Chain A
Amino acid sequence: MRLAPYLVGLTLAGLVLAPLLLAAAPAEAATRGLPSGLADTRRECSACHVLYPPELLPARSWQALTSHLSTHFGEDASLDAPTTAAITKYLVDHAADSRYGSRDVMWHLSPTQTPQRITDMPFWRSIHRRLLQPGVGTGPGIRTAADCARCHDVRSE
């Protein structure tokens, strides 16, 4: 399994993402030279949960997910058509199978599958396997596992 060498190196230090993060994000990056759609995605897709990284789902998943935002995991996350289009483009352009992505995120994902949750991606389940009680992080309802900020130090606004 290709993830193995990498997993060996993982420690709890991997959970403390924010300090590195801050260093990596110069302030003016927020206003200048933003990829189009990023500002919309940031504003609209972090209101209810962390801003999920586009690199953690393939393009087809983002397309599927943004095609029915008014029925989004039991909630209405609908947006007007131009904003939806801008966000979809940004997510698709930065997806796991785009040039920004990593083949490891696509690990064991069959071409016939279109998961709409990162927590349904085989790579994610493999990494978090030991943390999940049987059945946790599966099924249709709210998944606490989807709240990445519970364990990863991230900010989403």
Chain B
Amino acid sequence: MNLRPILLLAFAASLTGGATLAATNYASERAAIVARYAAEAKQANPNFHGFSADAGKAFFLAHPGTGRPETPSCTTCHTTSPRNYGRTRAGKQLLPVAVSRTPARFTNLTKVERWFKRNCNTVYGRTCTAQEKGNYITFMESQ
């Protein structure tokens, strides 16, 4: 009996997961996601005037105090500078969220929606609006 092969196998399986992004056009995929949030925001608010990087920055840095105590802010994991590598509470390193550092950011709608849902819930204790999501991505695009 030996536990080692078990670990080996399972971790081996985890090695090759990330390499699916080929030569896709990140900028246009991200633009499509932002356009989608713009349409949603306009529907919710006829006076919608586009997204604001400054508002996105404030949203990112805020400590709203309405979510779970373990995750008071987006910066808990993504750090106060979007250009830095992040770290989860469980110790895993995260790629920077700034688009200049990680060009593939915000290019997969399913992924983007999944994480807004989770992280808005843990940090803000609610879902985020389309306006907030668009502001956030606009801020990260400027970084």
Nearest Cβ distance between residue A14 and chain B, in whole angstroms?
6
Contacts of A49 in B (CB 8 A): 88, 90-92
B3-11, B22-30, B35-43, B56-64: which lies at the A interface?
B3-11
Separation of A145 and B114 alpha carbons in the complex (Å): 28
* Set B11, B89, B119: member contacting A51, Cβ < 8 A: B11
Chain B interface size band reads: 20 to 34
Q: A132 on the interface (CB 8 Å rule)?
A: no
Instruction: Type the 1/0 row for B102-125, where 1 means its CB is closer than 8 Å to any CB of A.
Output: 000000000000100111011000
Q: Is the CB of A53 within 8 A of B11?
A: yes
Q: Is the CB of B18 within 8 A of A157?
A: yes
Q: Which of A18, A47, A77, A103 has the most CB of B within 10 A?
A: A47
Cβ-Cβ contact count across A and B, 8 Å cutoff: 125
Contacts of B11 in A (CB 8 A): 17-18, 21, 50-51, 53, 154-156
Nearest Cβ distance between residue A41 and chain B, in whole angstroms?
9
Separation of A136 and B16 alpha carbons in the complex (Å): 32
Separation of A155 and B9 alpha carbons in the complex (Å): 12
Q: Lowest 4 A-B CB distances belong to which pairs?
A: A53-B10, A30-B16, A147-B91, A25-B12
Residues of B within 8 A of A (CB): 1-4, 6-18, 68, 70-71, 88-92, 114, 117-119, 121-122
